[in-house]
Structure 1
């Protein structure tokens, strides 16, 4: 199992409590949520019995501060599900130290990184393993061990990362891929860890651009069967080498976005890109603080070996902040596959009740996914609606 054990988490909790007692904490927060997830369909018979309704709870704690000129960050996450044992786990999302002097910085520990600018699928966000136990789209990430060296430039920053360990993807009962996923994975090479990444982030006028390089094990495995009669899928982790680009350009209030990467996998070259636009609309200034229309197109010439839920897809949607001083946020996106006609919708609503409580709900719906869509067809019965009641302090 890739999750961290309870003793490691307890040690970090004690470290955070000691830091708090010693007065070296700049900020801290705890978020506890009661959760309820309801699936639209029964679980596939192949994975066994699983109730369509699953209550549970989540907890997350953040602490950050300074220890003798060295900044530290600690973020712990835990989840408990009444139906799915694989969704009862804890993870260290962040436990890192950062030292900076003049333009040079050093980092060490466990971190969760985000690279990219797209609203839908971030194809250049390659460092962390996806946490499928939260949702099949993989937007939530697991902590990744790292060591980094950074150099601040006049109009940006250059960073080098060494990733000493590799975390396999965890597959819960639900979301399911139609068949059980084996705990025994295959790797293209015997090496597990020691990946290298390089990223430069630059600002020039209204342009923000990131250039990156990654060489190591691809985080998204291929799910294969050794023979047609196998009753389970086996994760196959391949080596990948990527050149990465993400860019954001402002044209007035309109935002143009691009994520692209090229490289080699399984001795073949590939290219993938996500091109998008975000257009702000301010139709009701008294009730709606901001309203933006979203359109993005994703292409990936790896076909069945693509890493995401789409490979020739158009995404359209909107996001808005409304209510009393922005107390509510809504985001809705629907996709359309130009090859298979399949699509899925991702809808979320967040509402702040007061300074301590907020409600969050999300619906992930898979529509018209036929056998011709190799990405969406395996998860066609994993539609769910989730409700969370958060208490933060």
Structure 2
């Protein structure tokens, strides 16, 4: 075993030990498996809404059972099924990702408060959360979906207010190549206002986001994540305003996700997005769902500043961005997407026409110093998403073909995720995932291998860990993500990335060549407002 491999192994082991310290196992072994639990709520009305979602979208006979846990009454939404273990994988992939198995012998570990089930009158039909690939049947977009477990809303008739405040600290192993600090702290405030109109078919949402960073001024943010009006009439849903809409099914790279611009300074993995002004019409029928988008205006990608970390050696000049379109950032873009659910398959086809969310860079010299200028081309992109379920395995594919940035190119991410439900006859679920990547623009692309450990406890504890390995460059990047709720008010999360630079044997630049000294651990504490 080489010294570099040993270092990678030791680093990965240390990161996993740290993740386990954040996520504590709170459940003993359980035998048997009879029910799927979809959520536990301190607010009984939230449980009623969740039950309606399960009944209407999955056609399962869901019930509500009040239980006493830690001297608090929780309302548990669950469905008993003879093949609960096999059904759980499909249920999670269809939008209920937090669901877990309630094993037969564990039902008595929590004291029942009231044996009478479903005492509540069901509210009007409520919407089902969208999945990573196919949007499930929308029953009535006017009713808000329930919040995560333990997170309640301040309610005044048809007005609801909630949100969260988070404190984040990033610890870097070394000082940056431009002498950047090793410690970066930030605070984020994300309130949300939801108004349901009296006709029960229209709603209004306002969700701003405010972020302040202690070191990098470019991480300071005032953004509108959601400022939208939604109206439902028969099989047509109209959404107007600033929104976020996600496309895709894979874990490592989201090839088809192009509606919103990436907020790169918020998260290095590109998962966080900026709000996009749009008009979105959704048509639903037996043939599937068609979403048509008119995207009003363009938002530029965010990049770290000179004091920021996880950046290249040449600064990016955000004040001199150039556009292929004469309308610049006022150009109207268009997109359309069709998706359909089959028995074990979810399929989506999409096309985007407009300004690329992924800029190219022009090298310029200003006042004797080199800098990079973002250049946004006009592109045409066609994409496909496929999710096929075989027992406990989910096979995933995202692929695109794009023109407008030089020669037409293709890129794809494909892989699988296999879930072992209730390992060792406990609540623990262990998922194994592997994805391969291809991009015509790159000499080689990384392979991702990872595991997802879900504790299925009341506190949503889970750990995702894995390795990105590039055979051609020898780079091996290790990542760990873990999270756990604290009571009904808070959440603690951990993220860590370790960059192993590998060997430069072909003269090409490596993917992480300029950030090899930016190994970091990020800790975030979130306090939910309205609980």
Q: Quick check: TM above 0.5? A: yes
Displacement of 1:22 in angstroms is: 6.0
Matched, 1:252 2:411: no
8 Å CA contact 1:178–1:379 kept in 2: the answer is no
1:243 maps onto 2:382 in alignment = yes
Separation of aligned partners in 2, 1:231 and 1:57: 32
Find out whether 1:88 has 2:215 as its counterpart.
no
Instruction: State how 1:67-86 maps to structure 2 within 5 Å.
Output: 67-68=197-198, 69-86=201-218
Q: State the TM-score, normalized to the length of structure 2.
A: 0.65
Is residue 397 of structure 2 the alignment partner of residue 264 of structure 1?
Answer: no
Between stretches 249-258 and 135-144, larger displacement belongs to: 135-144
Equivalent of 1:347 in 470, 477, 480: 480
Q: Identify the residue that residue 360 of structure 2 maps to in structure 1.
A: 222
| Aligned counterparts, 1:37-56, within 5 A | 37-45=170-178, 50-56=180-186
Note the C-alpha offset of 1:379: 3.0
SS in 1 for 2:364: coil
Q: Deviations over 1:106-125 (max 9, x none)?
A: 11100111100001111100
| C-alpha distance in 1 between matches for 2:265 and 2:520 | 13
User: In the alignment, is the contact (CA less than 8 A) between 1:245 and 1:259 conserved in 2?
Assistant: yes
Matched, 1:113 2:245: yes
Match of residue 461, structure 2, among 328, 331, 356: 328
The structural deviation recorded for 1:381 is 3.0
| Contact 1:327–1:353 (Cα < 8 Å) also in 2 | no
CA distance in 1 between counterparts of 2:406 and 2:215 reads: 42
> Are residue 387 (structure 1) and residue 526 (structure 2) matched?
no
Show the 5 A alignment for 1:303-382. 303=442, 312-322=445-455, 324-325=457-458, 327-368=460-501, 370=504, 372-382=508-518
Number of the residue aligned with 1:98: 230
Residue 317 (structure 2) aligns with: 182
Which runs of 5 or more structure 2 residues have no equivalent in the other structure? 1-153
Following TM superposition, by how much is the alpha carbon of 1:288 offset from its aligned partner in structure 2, in angstroms? 4.3
How is 1:143-292 mapped onto 2 (pairs within 5 angstroms)?
143-172=275-304, 173-183=308-318, 184-191=320-327, 192=329, 193-226=331-364, 230-282=369-421, 284=423, 287-292=426-431
Deviations 1:65-122 (A, max 9, x none): 4224312223222221111111121211111111111111211100111100001111
Distance 1:373 1:28, change over 3 A: farther
Distance of aligned partners of 1:29 and 1:231 in 2 relative to their CA distance in 1, 3 Å threshold: same
Secondary structure at the aligned position of 1:226 is classed as: strand
The offset of 1:289, in angstroms, is 2.9
SS at match of 2:428: strand
Q: CA offsets per residue over residues 249-293 of structure 1, 9 Å max, x none?
A: 101111000001112123521111110100012363555432100
Superposed CA RMSD: 2.2
Q: Would the alpha carbon gap of residues 267 and 132 (structure 1) be closer, same or farther in structure 2, given more than 3 Å must change?
A: closer
Hey, what's the Cα distance between the residues in 1 that align with 2:460 and 2:378?
Answer: 45
For the structure 1 residues 103 and 283, does the alpha-carbon distance in structure 2 shift closer, same or farther, using more than 3 Å as the test? closer
Report the 3-state secondary structure (helix = DSSP H, G, I; strand = E; otherwise coil) of the residue aligned with 1:225: strand
- Please, which moves more after superposition, 324-333 or 204-213? 324-333
User: Do the aligned partners of 2:364 and 2:371 also contact (CA within 8 Å) in 1?
Assistant: no
Structure with greater helix percent: 2
| 1:324–1:149 Cα change, 3 Å | closer
Count of residues paired in the alignment: 364
Give the alignment of 1:290-305 within 5 angstroms: 290-303=429-442
Could you state the TM-score of these two structures normalised by the residue count of structure 1?
0.86
Using the alignment, how far apart are the partners of 2:412 and 2:172 within structure 1? 32
Counterpart CA distance in 2 for 1:326 and 1:279 is: 23
The runs of 5 or more residues in structure 1 that have no matched partner are: 1-19, 305-310
C-alpha deviation, 1:44, in angstroms: 2.7
